[in-house]
Amino acid sequence: MDDEAQTAVRPAGVLNGATKVTATGVTVADYDADLANLNNNFITNNLSLTGAYYIMSATRASAMGRLRDALGNPYYRGMANGPGDKTLDGLPVIESENAGDVIALVKPSELYLADDGEVEVAFSDQATIDMGATTLVNLWQQNMTAIRAERHTWAKRRTIAAAYIDYSTLP
């Protein structure tokens, strides 16, 4: 999940062109203000929150679930740590470390899925694959074969299908 633009080999990220809310902090008051700003983005654009999901890292969900008031009561009851479904302000939460330093609000019904029902499969034993960092794997030298299977792509119906809070600038 990112805000990268579309290229010849991949669709644009879900957050590409989405409204970005700069995080104000990680206190309860900060979270409340930022989440209200995020929700207002949908509401002012006449987009219902019905069917929307929050997407955030499991570590951020855990941190929010641990926030307590002076009496020890959780501020975000639906974010309790441990297994099970989580909710925030009545909306379901999807936990994924791929979310990184954002809390995204996404409405899946505003995403288009293009699927012709077929899978394109390709394989090669004569390629060099970049495994990240400085690791290159030459398939021919290693007597290996790589298989790629692709099926579908997607696009946002409207740019307001997603909005997010960016926490990457916080210390």
Tens of pLDDT, residue by residue over 96-110, are: 888 889 999 999 888
- With a cut of 80, say whether residue 3 has pLDDT above it: no
Q: What is the pLDDT of residue 115?
A: 66
User: Which of the 8 DSSP states describes residue 82?
Assistant: S
Tens of pLDDT, residue by residue over 109-166, are: 887 766 666 777 888 988 898 887 778 889 899 898 988 887 656 655 666 788 999 9
* The CATH number fitting domain 19-111+155-166, selected from 3.20.20.70, 3.40.1050.10, 3.40.50.720, 3.30.2320.10: 3.30.2320.10
Portion of the chain with pLDDT greater than 70, in percent: 89
Q: Which helix (H) or strand (E) holds 41?
A: helix 28-44
pLDDT tier for residue 84 given thresholds of 50, 70 and 90? confident
Q: What is the pLDDT of residue 158?
A: 65
3-state secondary structure of 64: helix
Judging by DSSP bridges, how do beta strands 53-56 and 102-106 pair with one another?
Answer: antiparallel
Residue 52 token pair: 């929307």
43 vs 10, residue with greater confidence: 43
pLDDT tier for residue 88 given thresholds of 50, 70 and 90? very high
Q: Which helix (H) or strand (E) holds 63?
A: helix 58-65
Q: Count the residues in the chain.
A: 171
CA distance 43 to 162: 12
pLDDT tier for residue 29 given thresholds of 50, 70 and 90? very high
3-state secondary structure of 164: strand
